[in-house]
Structure 1
Amino acid sequence: MPYNLKSETDVKEYITNLGIEYRFGCYSEKNPEVCHLLGDYLEAIDKDFQKAARVYQTNCDDYKYPKSCYKYGAYSLLGKGVKKQDYKEAYKYFEKGCNLNNPESCLHQGLLLVSNNSSNGISPNILKGMSLLEKACTEKNANACYYISGMYISGVRKPNVKTKANEEVGEDSYEVKKDMKQAYKYTLEGCNLGNIYSCANLSQMYARGDGVEKNQELAEKYKKIALEMQEEMTSQKTLTFGQGLENS
């Protein structure tokens, strides 16, 4: 029997039955994809983050479902649905997800390794972190491409390297040396994958001739792309707000 999705009663029945189907598919049929959908259902519909976290964790540990590894890692990172925020636990599950070729997991594992936040309990490892970001970028994660490009634009100092004010820093103090050609490569990839900041940086690179031959026409092209992305993001926010008013 088809549901009338304009009927509030039918919609509620549909959502309830969907939850029943996901539970059966996960607990009885042990289908990892359905288990992940159950986690999403518990998160988005029931707002039961503790149960969602347990489903994601089990689906990662028992069935090696990469998206669930990422989700439980994110929950641990934020302290959502778990007893407390735990960076080491987050890292563990991001690593599991990355080993299963989930680009979002590789991105976050890499970011934890390149972070200067000493309070998170993760020992910095710039080169390993960068290799993970490169893996995520290769797997078409736009944010990873953007972060790598930024590392090449500014360079990354070795941990614990301290200098006095106005003191020049030698190249041997850098774990990752500035390299505008590499920065251009990853900026271009990030822009092509839809990262607005990469497109804005790409426009500046062409305008200045940083890492690529100066080209004002291409500078304007990528500036226009970035502005169009910004406009689209703004209109989406406006649309969502308007929908919220209509449904209130």
Structure 2
Amino acid sequence: MAYDLQKEEEVKEFVENLGIEYRFGCYKEKKPEVCHLLGDYLEAIKKDFSKAGKVFKNNCLEYKYGKSCLKIGNYNLIGKGLDKSDTQEALKYFEKGCELNEPTACLHAGLLLTGSGPDSKIDRNVPKGYDYLTKSCEGKDANACHYLAGMYLSGVPKNPKEFNPHKPEKNKNIEYLIKQDYMKAFEFAKSGCELGNMYACANVSIMYKKGDGVEKNLELSKKYFEIAQNLHKAHELTKELKFQQGLDEDKK
């Protein structure tokens, strides 16, 4: 049946039928990718975050679908569809998603384990977190590559409280889990840039300009600066378009 999506009644019918198809594909045919679509449908169309969370959780644990592990991990992280947030539970699902080769789940697990915020309820484990971030970067997650570059640019102290980013000379005698290494920082920054992270491109530009971790090259510095600028413009345009769409929706 062809739907006229300009007509409100036919749009409603299309959306309802979509939900029926997703339920059939998930519960009867037991297709993990369709179960994930059902979760997305319950989240985005029905705004039923509690049911969506249950679908994502089941799809992660029963059908071992990495993207659903990432979703339910995010739900636990912010308390979406739940009574409260649970960072430790979120980490469990991120690690599960990473085992199932979902790069962004690896990223989130790595960030939680390498974090050192005062409100963090996760025991800091930099080596384990580093492994997750590396797997994420190798899985082509640009943010993971950028974060790893940052770890090598400044180094990762054993005791974060001893580290003073504003007075580098005071950091020379503290113990590091990951020592500053501009060559590795450059490698990860370049990978992040190639995957589309504008901040990674900016770092590559600066490192070429200064000759940090790579031979100084002003021409390449300019090239990567322009790439960073273009990515920034594209990012701003996308935000503007989404904002305009929101305004258009409000007018309806």
- TM-score range normalised by the length of the shorter chain: over 0.9
How big is each residue's C-alpha offset from its partner over 1:39-76, in whole Å with a ceiling of 9 and x where there is no partner?
00001001111111111011111111111111000110
| Structure 1 CA distance for aligned equivalents of residues 199 and 124 of structure 2 | 25
Deviations 1:147-206 (A, max 9, x none): 000000000000366379967334660000000000000000000000010011111011
**What amino acid maps onto 1:14 in structure 2?**
F
**d(CA) in 1 for partners of 2:221 and 2:174?**
33
Match of residue 22 from structure 1: 22
1:205 match: 207
State the alpha-carbon separation in 2 of the partners of residues 96 and 155 from structure 1. 28
Name structure 1 gaps, 5 residues minimum.
none
How many matched pairs?
248
Partner SS for 2:171:
coil
TM-score by length of 1: 0.95
Which position in structure 1 is the counterpart of 2:195? 193
CA contact (8 A) 1:26 1:34 kept: yes
Instruction: Between 201-210 and 4-13, report the one with greater CA deviation.
Output: 4-13
Please report the RMSD computed on the Cα atoms of aligned residues, expressed in angstroms: 1.8
Q: 1:241 and 1:172 mapped to 2: Cα distance? A: 46
The match for 2:218 is 216
Aligned to 2:46: 46
SS of residue matched to 1:175:
strand
Q: Is the 2:162–2:171 contact (alpha carbons within 8 Å) kept by the matching residues of 1? A: no
Specify the code of the residue in structure 2 equivalent to 1:55.
V
Contact 2:95 2:105 (C-alpha < 8 Å) held by counterparts? yes
Of 216, 226, 229, which aligns to 1:227? Answer: 229
- Higher mean C-alpha deviation, range 156-165 or range 185-194: 156-165
Q: Identity percentage over the alignment?
A: 53
In terms of mean alpha carbon deviation, does 21-30 or 46-55 score higher? 21-30
Q: Distance in 1 between matches of 2:243 and 2:172?
A: 51
Give the aligned residue type for 2:9.
T
Task: Note the residue ranges of structure 2 that are not aligned, 5 or more in a row.
Answer: none
